[in-house]
Each structure stands twice: as structure tokens, then as C-alpha cells.
Amino acid sequence: MPIQFFHIVLEYVLSKYEGIYSNDPDDKGGETFKGIARNKHPNLDLWNIIDSFKQSEHFINLIKNDKQLNSLVSDFYFTEFWKPLHCDIFPHSIAAELFESAINFSPKSEIQILQKTLNLLNKNEERYSDIETDGIFGQITLRTSNYYFDNFPIQLFFKVLNVYQAFHYVHLMENNPVYEKYIGFFNRVTFNTNFVFNKE
């Protein structure tokens, strides 16, 4: 899969779901720039650049359009999300869905969802053996993923990934009502179905 698809998906996800900048006291991630939470990633160089702009009345426009910042954001998402998820091996729709969901969860959690989905769709191991749901993308997960997508429906897999994503948001809000303010999360569940399937 060419690197251009990563940039297409990244641009779509950031513009549709992540916004530019926020600092919501109810968000455990704290200060957030294009989906990157400072509390989770405090040592990134991009925070120094953002801090240097904070006294400007044009703060949002500056951080939105700064080329160095945008480059650092792209590098971050490619290194921390796209590569660990091995998105390049998947059909476009699955790669985009894994990437988008992982930004809300984590790469490890999303790999676990991938593994659970593979196990769920193997018809009690008639199609292939269950695999460990350890969040580690090793050779067994790679081989099982390749086997599934060589032989079975992509769209069904895509739907199950979205079901897991929706359940995550329901569980989050039921266990911590403060998250009900983020009901926009559910807009991510349908994601960009036409967008990704048009690019298979």
C-alpha cells in the first residue's frame, strides 16, 4: 500500500474527528493538538513549538498552518500508529478503520480488537485456529489476517470492528458519566465507509 494512502487517511481523520486544539479539563489527555494528548505524549518536540505561539492572538492559525508542526504530526501518527498496526498489509477499509480507532484507544488495544475479530469470525475454528488476544502483532496475527482477507468478506470484518468500537464508547460512558459530553464519539463508529470502500 503506497504511503500516499496513509496521508489521505490521516488528513481525513484529523479534519473530520480530531480538530486543531483543545484543553478540556474533563479530558484525561489534557492539552490536545490534532488528536495528540500532551499528558500521554509530553516529550514531543511539537509542544515546544506550540508553547512558543501561545502569546499570539493568531495562535490557532499559527499552529494549524505551521509546516514543521504538520510534519511532526504526520511523523508521529505514522510511527506510533500506522506502523505498529501494520496498516500497509490490510485492505484500505480495514487499514483506515484500525488507524482511526487506535487514535481513540491505543495501538495495543486496537490490535487486541483485531485479534478478537479474527477469532469471532473463524466459525469456532472451522476456518482457522483461534489466536492469542495479547495486543502483540506477531507472525501468527499476520498470517491469520492475511488468510482471512484472502478468503473471506472484508465488509463483514469492517462491521465487526465498528461494533467493538461502539461497545467501547458505551462501556466508557456507562462507567464514567462525564464522558457523555463526548457523544460525538459515536460519529466515528460509522467512519468513512464510502470513502474507504471506494478505494479498495
Going residue by residue through the chain, which has 200 residues, state the pLDDT in tens, using 9 for 90 and above. 568 899 999 999 998 888 899 998 888 888 999 999 999 999 999 999 999 999 999 999 999 999 999 999 999 999 999 999 999 999 999 999 999 999 988 999 999 999 999 999 999 999 999 999 999 999 999 999 999 999 999 999 999 999 999 999 999 899 988 888 888 888 888 755 555 555 55
Q: Which of 27, 54, 83 is the last residue of a domain?
A: 83
Residues 108 and 199 in one domain: yes
Query: Are 65 and 128 part of one and the same domain?
Result: no
Determine contact, residues 63/21, Cβ cutoff 8 Å: yes
For residues 29 and 37, the answer to whether their CB atoms sit within 8 Å is yes
Cβ–Cβ under 8 Å, residues 4 and 16: no
Regarding whether 189 and 104 lie in a shared domain, the answer is: yes
What's the number of domains the chain is made of?
2
Rounded Cα distance, 50 and 68, in Å: 11
Report the chain's C-alpha Rg in angstroms.
Answer: 18
Same domain? 62 vs 99: no
Closest CA to 106 of 75, 86, 84, 73: 84
Which residues does residue 36 pair with via DSSP β-bridges, in sequence order? 33
Cβ atoms 146, 120 nearer than 8 A: no
DSSP count for the chain of H helices, then E strands: 10, 3
Q: What is the DSSP-derived secondary structure letter of residue 161?
A: H
- The last residue of a domain, from among 83, 103, 118: 83
Considering the domain architecture, whether residues 102 and 196 belong to the same structural domain is answered as yes
First to last CA, the chain: 11
176 and 100 in a common domain: yes
Secondary structure E strands in 86-196: none
The three three-digit cell numbers of residue 130, written as one number: 483461534
Amino acid 53: pLDDT: 96
Place of cell 499528558: 39
Distance CA 45, CA 37 (A): 13
Distance, C-alpha 155 to centroid of its chain:
18
Range of the domain at 79: 1-83
- Could you identify the residue written with the cell 515546544? 48
* 12 and 42 fall within a common domain: yes
